[in-house]
Structure formats: structure tokens, C-alpha cells
DNA sequence: CATGAATGAGAATTCATTCAT
DNA sequence: TATGAATGAATTCTCATTCAT
């Protein structure tokens, strides 16, 4: 048999797929989901539109996958910070900090990921991501309540509110470029810790 | 024979314009900006697409204006609550409550107004509205700091974060229909008051 | 109110719709369903593709409607011939003759209408048309049997077979241009009458 | 180092070619020409699309060849039945029976082969096949006329009409699944024999 | 030589905007 | 003046064919 799929070919294939996902990410960062056209993604990845469809069955599937990857990455980082040996409130602050910091770097992407509607398939991924992340915060709030560090409250509401506070808190500074990023992150951390009833 | 615009005609024209804006609002409430088509707005207002273009130069201009109106109304309500004789933190809590409550009633509209991107012209209006509303909260935080009720902090960051916290805090419950709305609003008020350092 | 839909406008609208249907017909006649593109139909009707979609919700719907019209017309003609005062077998021959004659004039259209697959919506119309027409023949065969003019046989099989015989019998001559059309029609009439057991 | 094509290689090549033709046949049987994609053929044959193009210069050529083979096979069977020692009309009936029976088994394939348009190259093959088959019937009709068994008539028209009658006569029953297949074949035989003027 | 990933022309459909009536 | 039919650019997705490996 004169043909064998070589490791090199596999690698290239995977690389193409990744480049497409990265390009999708870039496009959303630049233009949001609203401006996300397959042609732009293809151009960004240096492939044809047809190739995009070799790797992903539809536009929705492509962006859903991209979202899933981005969210999984963010969640993993946040989750890692959430299980250190520190006291719950300290950890909650750390997670806020890390989440805010990374969202700051991600620019519009984080925002699009969390809030910009696109289509049902993508929206579902977004919803799941929000749920997961707010559950992470809720878990920490719950631990804090049990440890007597935090007042009794609905942890899920708090978890969701934290996500909103951080993202919205980042939007203007991102656009105005006013504040020092580190200060902003510190402010948001303090805001959120106080919000759940922790000592600043 | 000179063409004369009578008062009656003026009134009718103005009425049409208003009906178009109301229809635009309804459409966004039902379908978000993503599903906002001129034809739907025209149908909702009982006029032709051509008439829509008689009153507004473009789709963007129409929705920008609609957004401006809605935001102005919300701002007015919030601003009225912000200037009572109560102490600053109490007033901040009241504004949060009123904002949360009205957003809850507005359903998807509030969300679209605050976060769903549409196009640059509309986005600018949204940005302005966010700025104004967060400035309102910032003013109250500032007053609280001056009155010694609140710790020193960046009031603008806090103002923005409050908006995000309330909206995101409302999203899931809205979709899951889980919590009692009044409880949710109360939770968010407590969250925000604590967040700025006020005694819950 | 400065606007009224005038009779002229109605007429133009209807004329456009008709021109689109006629163009669809022409396109199928030239290129069959396989070559039937909306752009070609639009061009043929002298309108834009968008206009086609104003009159018909989809490509399928357009061609289904066209097919329905053509078939209804053919059926009406055939049905009229089927109910004269002549004896059943005579009438059956007359219907064959009229059907063959008109199919001959319609060229590829008749063929496409009866056999060329397109998509489920259109196929359904075609199926119905075939059923109706073969039922017409079946009815005549049945009458003939009851009148003792024809031998006992399955009338539906005969009805369908007649349609096939006529269409297929027309195909080659149409392409080769060999035979005199009237002779051909006469031959097919005799073929079908004999086929059901009538005296030639 | 000279490249030498061995007998084994030749055999493999030929086997591939055959498998591709068989797969093409299967695909048409399942999905008609409309659903006939090169990828599906390649998959069915267990080869790559590239290999398909090694054996056939184009999609048209592949399906044209497939059609040619299928038709040749059918023709051979029919021709064998056409030259027995029986009287012409008996033989004509036998050929109809065998043709109808095999078409019934072939399902959509026979139909696609005879009537479904695809592209000019394939259509030409189909036309030739129809010509050949109807010539076979025409020959039998001619013999019948000469033998005084059949009335004078145009044998070519009759040949074509028989093909149409059989195929169309098979279509509905195939879809409705109503009649017993053997009865249907017998009906069509009687229909065709009568049609040419033979005693049923 | 066989493979199958990549290509890219093309087709259906949508909708903001215009303009004849 | 108000209307709403017409326009056509834009976008997603498909699939025959090619060619690097």
C-alpha cells in the first residue's frame, strides 16, 4: 500500500483544526459573534471555507466548540485556584482575581463568551459555562457560610452576581483605558469579597 | 397651492413615530436585537417599512433612538430614587432594588439594552447608558464615602460592577424560573450593599 | 390616505407572479428540474431573485406550484374529453389522443412533470398528478369493462401503463424528429386502445 | 529501476474498477442520480475519491459507464429471451415479463436508468439504451407482423411504448406496495401483448 | 500508486433600503 | 404622503476535482 497517514499529516490536520479554532477566537475577539463569518474565520486560518466544513459540521458547531474550549480553559484555571489550602473567602478572592485578570487579557472575547447571543447551539454552551462558573463561586460561598466566615445567603445568586460584577466592571476600563489594570482587578476583588460578606 | 403642514398632521406624524419606537421595543423584548427586523417593527407599529424610513434614517438610528428612550426612562426612575432624604447607602440599596425590579419586569429587553451588541451606533448608546447609570451608583458610593458610611474605594468601578451583578444575577433565575422574584431582588440588594461596604 | 392599492398594481403583481411561473415552466422545459435555478427563473421573468421569494416561499414551493398548475390544466382538458357521450373505449382513445398531442407540444416539460425527480415537495405533486391522471384512465377502463366492451383487468395498472406508454412513446420521436407527429399520436392511440382490449 | 506492471497489479486494478462500478450502481439504487455523490461511491467501493478519478475521468463518465453496463446486462437477458423457438408474440410477452420482473427487483435503479436525467453524457447513454431495448421489442413486433400474428403498425413506436408502459406501470405499485408483484407482472404482460394486437 | 484533505465556484435564501405609484 | 414590492449584496453550506504526501 503506497499510502500511509503519517504522524506529520496528522499533526498538520490537527494544526489546521486548531488554527481554525484560534481564528474563530480572534474573529470573535475583534468583531463579536455578530461579525463572525465563516469566510473571515477561513481567511484568518489561512484555509478555504470548504476546509472549515471539513473540520466542523456547521458554523454553530465551530463556534460552540471554540466557546467550549475557551470556557474549559478558564474554568480549569479558576477551579485550580478554588481548591488550595487557603480559607474559603481567601480562595474566592483569588478566583475572582484570576478570572478578572484573564478576562482583562482576553478583551472582548470574555464578554462575548459570557453574554453575546448567537444561536441556540452556541447559547447552550454559554449557558452551561455560566452555570459551571457560577457554581464554582457558589461552592466557595457555601464553604464560607459553613465555616462561619460568611453570612447566610443564596450562594447561587451570589455566584452569578460575581460573574456579572467582574465582567461589567471590566468593560468600561477596557474601553476607556483609564485605570491601571492591576488596581482595577484589586478593586473588583475587594468588591466581590465584601459582596458575599467577607472582611475586605 | 402651497403645502401646509397642519397641527393635526404634525400630531399624527408624532404618533406614528412613537408607535414605531414602541414596536421596536416590543420586537427587541421578544426576539432580542438579533431578531429585530425592520419589517417586524413596521408591522408592529401598523405602518409600512417606507414609513419607518421616513422617521428614521436607518435601522441603526431607529434602534439607537429606542435604546436612548428606554435608558432615559430607566435612568429617570433610578435618579428619582437616588435623591430622597435617606442616607446614601439606603438610597443605593433602593436604587438597586428599583433597577433590579424593573429589569425583571422588562425581561429580555433590559438584557438586550445593556449587553446585546448590535452595531456601532447602537453600541455607543448602550455604552453611554451604562456610563450614566454607573455614574449614578458611583455618586451614591461617593456620598457614602464622604459620609463615612462606606470605606474608601473607586466609586466608578463599584458602580459598573453593581450593574453587572444585578443583570447577571437576574439572568439565570429568569431562565430557570426558580427563585421567587422578590427574594431574588432582596438578595441582590443585600449583595450590592455589602459589596460597597455598607452594613447589610 | 395617500396610498391605495390600485387595480393596476394588483394586475402587475399578478402578472409578475405569472411571469415567474411561466419562466419556471420555460426553465424546466429547457433544462429539466436539474437545471432549474432560481436565478435562471428570475432572469427569465425579468425580476430579481428577491422578488421570486416575495411570491413563493421557497424554490420547492415555486416549482410545486408550477407543476400543480400545469397538471391541473392538462387534467382539466383530459377530464373534459373523458365525459362526452361517446362509448367508453372511444373516449379513452380520445383522451389518449389529447394527452399525447398536448405532451408533444409541451416537449420536455411533460416528461419532467411526470417523471423527473426533484425534491419531496415537488415529488408529491407529481405523484398526485400521476395518480389523478391514471385514475381518469382507470375510470374509463372500468366503464368499458362494465359495458362489456373490455375484458376484465386491473384498471389502475392499465391507467398507469397508458401514461407511461404515451410519454415514452413520445420521447424518441421528439428527439429524432423522425415521424410525423399526427401519425405518432394516432399510433399511440391505437396502441393504448388495443392494450386495454378494445377493438382497434 | 524500471516500473513493471505485473499481472497481479492489473488484476487488482480491474477489481477496483469493478467495485467502483458496483458501488455506483448501489448508490443510484438507494438515492437515485440526484443523491449520487462521488464520495458515497468511493466509500461504497472501499477506495478513495482519488482512486475513482484514476479509473474514470469524471463523475459523468463513471455513471455513464455504469449505466452502459447495467443496460447491457439487461439487454443481454432480454435478447436471450427474444430468440427462442417460440412464436414472436409469445416471445414478446416473455421479454416483457422478464424485463418487468427484473425492473421490479432492481427497484429505483431501473427507473433511474431509464428516466432520471443526470447530465448530457449520461443522458446519451440512457437514450442509446432505450433505443436498443425498444429496437428489440420492435424486432419482435415486426416478426409478428410478418408472421401475420400482429396487425400492421409502426414497430418502433410500439417498442418504446412498451418500455414506458412497463416502467410506469411498476412505479405506483412499487410505492404503494398494493398489488402482488407476480400479478402485476402478469397484468403488464397482458397489457403489452394486447397493445401490439396479439391475442391475450 | 493510493490517499483524502483542500479547494472554490455556485446555489438558496434573507433583509435593509429604495422608489414608482 | 404612505405604501410595500423590488432589489441585490451578503452569507452559509455542498461537492466535483486536484495534488502533496
Domains in chain A (CATH in brackets) are 1-56 (1.10.10), 63-195 (1.10.357.10)
Rounded Cα gap, residues D45 and D31, in angstroms: 16
* Residues C84 and C101 sit within 8 Å (Cβ to Cβ): no
C62 CA from E13 C1′ (Å): 14
Rounded Cα gap, residues C95 and A171, in angstroms: 77
The alpha carbon torsion through D84, D85, D90, D92 (nearest 10 deg) reads 40
Q: Could you tell me the sign of the dihedral formed by the alpha carbons of B133, B137, B140, B141, in that order? A: negative
* Residues C198 and C92 sit within 8 Å (Cβ to Cβ): yes
Q: Nearest Cβ partner of D195 from C127, C131, C195? A: C195
- The SS3 call for residue C12 is helix
B127 neighbourhood in chain A, CB within 8 Å: 172, 175
The closest alpha carbon to D123, from C119, C136, C171, belongs to C171
Q: What is the DSSP string of A63-87?
A: HHHHHHHHHHHHHHHHHHHHTSSS-
pLDDT digits (tens, 9 = 90+) for A94-118: 999 999 999 988 877 887 888 888 8
D162 neighbourhood in chain C, CB within 8 Å: 165
Cα D74 off chain centre by? 5
Q: Could you tell me the sign of the dihedral formed by the alpha carbons of B44, B49, B54, B59, in that order? A: positive
pLDDT digits (tens, 9 = 90+) for D54-82: 999 999 999 999 999 999 999 999 999 99
Band (pLDDT 50/70/90 cuts) for residue C24 is very high
Q: Which residue has 362509448 as its cell numbers?
A: C87
Rounded Cα gap, residues A73 and B144, in angstroms: 39
pLDDT digits (tens, 9 = 90+) for D99-140: 999 998 887 788 788 778 888 899 899 889 989 999 999 999
Distances in Å between the Cα of D125 and the Cα atoms of C93, D46, D65, D76, D118 are 33, 26, 8, 16, 11
Nucleotides of F under 7 A from a protein CB: 1-21
What pLDDT does residue D2 have?
Answer: 47
Residues 6+ apart with CB under 8 A from D185: D97, D100, D101, D104
- With a pLDDT cut of 90, the percent of chain A lying above it is 68
B200 neighbourhood in chain A, CB within 8 Å: 151, 197
- With a pLDDT cut of 70, the percent of chain B lying above it is 94
Nucleotides of E under 7 A from a protein CB: 1-21
A113 CA from F15 C1′ (Å): 33
B49 CA from E18 C1′ (Å): 11
Cβ pair B194:A196 closer than 8 A: yes
Q: Could you tell me the sign of the dihedral formed by the alpha carbons of D56, D60, D63, D67, in that order? A: negative
D37 CA from F16 C1′ (Å): 9
A107 neighbourhood in chain B, CB within 8 Å: none
Global pTM reads: 0.89
* Residues B169 and B188 sit within 8 Å (Cβ to Cβ): yes
> For residue D130, what is its C-alpha cell?
432505450
> For residue D98, what is its C-alpha cell?
422478464
pLDDT digits (tens, 9 = 90+) for B135-189: 999 999 999 999 999 999 999 999 999 999 999 998 876 666 667 889 999 999 9
Distances in Å between the Cα of D129 and the Cα atoms of C125, C161, D61, D155 are 29, 20, 16, 17
Residues 6+ apart with CB under 8 A from C192: C92, C93, C96, C162, C165, C166, D161, D195
Residues of chain C whose C-beta is under 8 A from some C-beta in D? 32-34, 115-118, 127, 130-131, 134, 151, 153-154, 156-158, 160-169, 171-173, 175, 179, 183-184, 187-188, 190-192, 194-197, 200
C34 CA from E12 C1′ (Å): 14
For residue B148, report the phi and psi dihedrals to the nearest 5 degrees. Answer: 75, 10
Tell me whether residue B39 is exposed, middle or buried, using C-beta atoms within 10 angstroms of its C-beta: 0 to 12, 13 to 18, 19 or more: exposed
Q: Which of A189, A191, A198, A200 to mutate to test the interface with B (most CBs of B within 10 A)?
A: A191
Rounded Cα gap, residues A82 and A46, in angstroms: 39
Helix or strand holding residue B37 (H, E): none
Rounded Cα gap, residues C19 and B103, in angstroms: 52
pLDDT digits (tens, 9 = 90+) for D129-183: 989 999 999 999 999 999 999 999 999 999 999 999 999 998 876 666 667 889 9
What pLDDT does residue D175 have?
Answer: 64
Cβ pair B134:A172 closer than 8 A: yes
pLDDT digits (tens, 9 = 90+) for C68-111: 999 999 999 999 999 999 999 999 999 999 999 999 888 778 87
Asked if strand E contacts C9 at the CB level, meaning under 7 A, the answer is yes
> For residue A95, what is its C-alpha cell?
478566583
Residues 6+ apart with CB under 8 A from D76: none
pLDDT digits (tens, 9 = 90+) for B5-43: 677 777 777 889 999 999 999 999 988 888 899 999 999
Residues of chain B whose C-beta is under 8 A from some C-beta in A? 32, 34, 115-119, 127, 130-131, 134, 151, 153-154, 156-158, 160-169, 171-173, 175, 179, 183-184, 187-188, 190-192, 194-197, 200
C64 CA from F3 C1′ (Å): 31
pLDDT digits (tens, 9 = 90+) for A16-40: 999 999 999 999 998 888 889 999 9
Asked if strand E contacts D153 at the CB level, meaning under 7 A, the answer is no
Rounded Cα gap, residues C191 and C193, in angstroms: 6
Residue D100 half-sphere exposure toward CB, CA atoms < 13 A? 30
Task: Tell me the nt nearest to C52, Cα to C1'.
Answer: F6
Amino acid at each position: 500500500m503506497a499510502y500511509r497517514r503519517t504522524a506529520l499529516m496528522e499533526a498538520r490536520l490537527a494544526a489546521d483544526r486548531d488554527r481554525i479554532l484560534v481564528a474563530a477566537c480572534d474573529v470573535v475577539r475583534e468583531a463579536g459573534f455578530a461579525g463572525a463569518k465563516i469566510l473571515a474565520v477561513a481567511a484568518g486560518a489561512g484555509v478555504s471555507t470548504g476546509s472549515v466544513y471539513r473540520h466542523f459540521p456547521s458554523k454553530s458547531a465551530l463556534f460552540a466548540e471554540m466557546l467550549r474550549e475557551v470556557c474549559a480553559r478558564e474554568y480549569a484555571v479558576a477551579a485550580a485556584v478554588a481548591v488550595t489550602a487557603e480559607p474559603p473567602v481567601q480562595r474566592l478572592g483569588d478566583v475572582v482575581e484570576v478570572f478578572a485578570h484573564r478576562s482583562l487579557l482576553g478583551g472582548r472575547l470574555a464578554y462575548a463568551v459570557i453574554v453575546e447571543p448567537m444561536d441556540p447551539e452556541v447559547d447552550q454552551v454559554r449557558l452551561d459555562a455560566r452555570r459551571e462558573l457560577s457554581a464554582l463561586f457558589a461552592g466557595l460561598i457555601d464553604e464560607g457560610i459553613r465555616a462561619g466566615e460568611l453570612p447566610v445567603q443564596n450562594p447561587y445568586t451570589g455566584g452569578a452576581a460575581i460573574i456579572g460584577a467582574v465582567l461589567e466592571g471590566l468593560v468600561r476600563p477596557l474601553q476607556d483605558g483609564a485605570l491601571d489594570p492591576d488596581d482595577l482587578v484589586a478593586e473588583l476583588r475587594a468588591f466581590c469579597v465584601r459582596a458575599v460578606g467577607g472582611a475586605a
